[in-house]
Structure 1
Amino acid sequence: MKIIDVKTFVVGNPPPGFGGRYFVFLKLITDAGIEGLGEVYSLPFHPHVVEKMIKDVVERCVIGQEPYNIERIWRSVYSSGFTQHPDLSMMGILSGIEMACWDIVGKDVNKPVYKLLGGQVHEKLRSYTYIYPKPGDKTDVYADPFLAAERAAEYLAMGFTALKFDPAGPYSAYDGRQLSLTELERSETFVRMLREAVGTKADLLFGTHGQMTAAGALRLARRLEPYDPLWFEEPMPPDNPREMAKVARGTSIPIATGERLATKYDFVRLLEEGAAAILQMNLGRVGGILEAKKIASMAEAYHVQIAPHLYCGPVVGAANIQLATCSPNFLIQESILDWTGFHSEILKKPIQWQDGYIIPPTEPGLGVELNEEVALKHPYTGTALHLDMTHHPILP
């Protein structure tokens, strides 16, 4: 069986747009008629440029290859252009290609991918969601701790036992920085009110996006510690694991990070420095499913857990589920609410979620199929990127 072609889909994510402005999917097509589905996460280029990049890489490195030869394809793409370095753009493209190969292999042998990577460890997967706005909200749930506490109670009633939120304010191209006293106070108030609202019924996941220096992160951590969050997420930019380790050593709150890293080579530095207790690889960026499994295995040796990141489409979500199901050190999986809405509509069969837990699929491959009719009805026509940062310094 050989790979003979590729299709791409740039899909606009309609309101409310949870998961990003658009999703970039690809399909690898084989001469046996089996197609494999993949997703590329958040490259720093317009998605129609990303489509051309996908096609270029597939034509040069993938067409004519056997989809079973995942290691060979991975090394060829990783080394393309004499690089051999975790370039996030190339690794995003490689991630989508790699998970599509696994989808083909699983379909060919009629097994879920997790059965091919050590077998099923977890019968169901604990999940969490961000605290999101709703139509009719009179204030901003991202900045109003009273509304966030009300929304938390609604999510508990749905079955969630963990909630994430990010009240620390905007993130900038000029971070890390010291948060203002107002930002520090708002963050502490959020955690205090949410802890009062959920008690011991839910873990609190304090999300940030690299806004702080190590010193600034420790100032905030001291305010948060009395409320016992499950984690403090990416408190400073991801480019210096030694500085991140200062935060990890200086607080009792577990540090979670990794959504902006790629490959075992980035993650081993986190582990060697003791910079994180929880790794948040995004399978649409990190290098794919097998690379993420290698990282999970390295983490296992350090007694570090994994919580795969998801702020994109459900194909990365499906890949995350395959990894989580077969990984002994899996902690919790990010969900976009309960996988309903557009994350359900874009698939022929939605991801199964029940009472706060994801139910791993039994279908072969990734266990999901793209609804191409829905995908084609929602082309992305905007100019903005999937995510972006404020491009001026944040003033106190």
Structure 2
Amino acid sequence: MKIARIETFYVPPRWLFVRVESDDGAIGWGEASLEGWAEAVDGAFEALKDRFLGHDPFAIEDIWQIAYRGGFYRGGPVMMSALSGLDQALWDLKGKALGLPAWQMMGGRVRDRIRAYAWIGGDRPHDVAEACAVRKSQGFSAIKMNATAELDWIGTPKLFDEVVARVEAAQGAGMDVGLDFHGRVHRPMAKQLAHVLEPLGLLFIEEPLLSENPEGLAQISALVSTPIALGERLYSRWDFKPFFEKGAVDIIQPDLSHAGGLSECRRIAAMAEAFDVAVAPHCPLGPLALAACLQLAANAPNVAIQEMSLGIHYNVGHDLLEFLSDKEVLTPVDGYLPIPQGPGLGITIDEAAVREAHKDRHRWRNPIWRQKDGSFAEW
């Protein structure tokens, strides 16, 4: 068996799907979505095609090592997202060819389902109580929302009153709350906001600072007992290593479409387990990314909760389940996602719908925000 074809598809609202086919007709799908940079990731596939057309698709680890190390330059969001999509597709292909779920090939499952959380509130959080009522009716018991819109570098704690009120509204609606600072809050105010939120009993604070500031993150982690979560902008086990060593993080959030796919994220989870750190994979993306996350949840004992993008504010015109032939596989039940039982990643892509959507390629870009003084603001 040899890899005969590697194809990429721009799938709305902002996803990049990968299809790998062998010379004997075996097919696997993956997701290489890198929000706002689909064209760059698509370009990286040209090098991967040159290397791996004609390669044994079952040799997943060999392909991973060559893709990561073989081009001299390594790491970063673009190349690692391309590798992630390829890796997912190879696990899907191998599983479908052998009739086994990816989790079975990786050692078997440790759980039957994983608790899920959904997003509310959009980029500039609002209508929290109403949104929580909708999520509760869908069976969720946990939500995540952005803490704030754009914030200046410095300010007074009165700016945080609305943040506290939103959290209290969500908790009053019966929800456990994770709060995403989204890297929008700079160090002088992040310490204050984390302190103000301490009595509220949050599930976690996500990206209180950008991951490029591990020293500041370690300081905030030492100031509060609220669990600190991060990881969506880290792309390999080597990127995560200093955060473990500094004790700067309690929950890691590798993205299986950015951090080397299922292969690398299983290694990252094992590394986290050695430091008694939980895993909550980042996944505001499409169905293939979520299916890969569920394979990891099946196999890694320290996966604690799973993000999913059903109804997320990014999914304008197209939602999570639209390109699936078996939507029930990724449908939450009583706030949990069942572990897929089917082969490979456990889902079936509607290939005709994907090819049709690709004809009108999306060009998704995140917004650019500015402060009141006209300077750039983190989104």
- TM-score, with normalisation over the residues of structure 1? 0.86
Range with bigger deviation, 213-222 or 101-110 = 213-222
1:335 to 308, 311, 323: 308
Q: What's the secondary structure of 1:353's corresponding residue?
A: coil
Distance of 2:182 and 2:341 partners within structure 1: 35
For 2:65 and 2:194, locate their aligned partners in 1 and report how far apart those are by CA, in whole Å: 40
1:78 paired residue among 49, 65, 68: 68
1-structure distance, mates of 2:248, 2:189:
16
Q: Pick from 226, 229, 246 the counterpart of residue 256 of structure 1.
A: 229
Question: Match of 1:205, SS?
Answer: strand
1:232/1:254 contact within 8 Å kept: yes
Q: How far apart, in 2, do the equivalents of 1:326 and 1:382 lie? A: 34
Contiguous gaps of at least 5 residues in structure 2: none
Q: Who is 1:58 aligned against? A: 48
Note if 1:95 corresponds to 2:68.
no
CA gap 1:79/1:179 in 2 versus in 1, 3 angstroms: farther
Matching residue of 2:240: 267
- CA drift of 1:150 comes to 2.4
Matches within 5 A, 1:137-176: 142-144=124-126, 147-170=127-150
- What is the aligned partner in structure 1 of residue 324 from structure 2? 347
Q: Decide which of 354, 376, 379 is 1:393's aligned counterpart.
A: 376
For residues 323 and 8 of structure 2, the distance between their equivalents in structure 1, rounded to whole angstroms, comes to 14
Aligned residue identity for 1:12? P
Query: Does residue 79 of structure 2 align to residue 123 of structure 1?
Result: no
Compared with structure 1, are the counterparts of its residues 179 and 7 closer, same or farther at alpha carbon in structure 2 (3 Å cutoff)?
farther
Preserved contact between residue 125 and residue 145 of structure 2 (Cα < 8 Å): no
Question: How far, CA to CA, are the matches of 1:308 and 1:169 in structure 2?
Answer: 23
Q: What is the CA–CA distance in structure 2 between the aligned matches of 1:184 and 1:307, rounded to whole Å? A: 26
1:358 maps to amino acid: L
Given that residues 311 and 320 in structure 2 are in contact (C-alpha distance below 8 angstroms), is that contact kept between their aligned partners in structure 1?
no
Q: Structure 1 residues 178, 77: CA separation in 2 closer, same or farther (over 3 Å shift)?
A: farther
Matched, 1:26 2:15: no
DSSP-derived class of the 2:53 partner: coil
State the one-letter code of the partner of 1:160: F
Normalising by structure 2, report the TM-score: 0.90
Structure 2 residue identity aligned to 1:6: I
Deviation at 1:240, TM superposition (A): 2.3
Give a deviation string over 1:151-184, Cα, whole Å, max 9, x none: 212322321111111131138xxx9x34665642
State whether residues 112 and 338 of structure 2, in contact with CA within 8 Å, keep that contact through their aligned partners in structure 1: yes
Quickly say closer, same or farther: Cα 1:101–1:245, change in 2 above 3 A. same
List alignment gaps of at least 5 residues for structure 1: 14-21, 134-140
Kindly state the Cα deviation for residue 346 of structure 1 after the two structures are TM-superposed.
Answer: 0.4
Measured after TM superposition, the shift of residue 384 of structure 1 is 3.8
Q: Tell me by how many angstroms 1:80 deviates.
A: 4.0
Task: Report the count of equivalent residues.
Answer: 367
Determine if contact 1:178/1:216 at 8 Å carries over to the other structure. Answer: yes
SS of the residue aligned with 1:343? coil
RMSD, aligned CA: 2.3
2:277 to 297, 301, 304: 304
Q: Is 1:360 aligned to 2:363, yes or no?
A: no
User: Structure 1 CA distance, aligned partners of 2:52 and 2:369?
Assistant: 37
In the aligned structure 1, how far is the partner of 2:3 from the partner of 2:191?
A: 50
Deviations 1:97-150, CA, capped at 9 Å, x for gaps: 1111111111122110011112111111100001157xxxxxxx9443xx2112
8 A Cα contact 1:128 1:356, kept in partner: yes
Alignment correspondent of 1:225 = 198
Which SS does the other structure have where 1:26 is aligned?
strand
Superposed displacement of residue 376, structure 1? 2.9
1:69 matched to 2:87? no
CA distance in 2, matches of 1:62, 1:44: 26
**Aligned match of 1:10:** 10
| Aligned-partner SS, 1:345 | coil
1:389 and 1:298 mapped to 2: Cα distance? Answer: 35
Identity of aligned residues (%): 32
Instruction: State the distance in 1 between where 2:113 and 2:311 align.
Output: 14
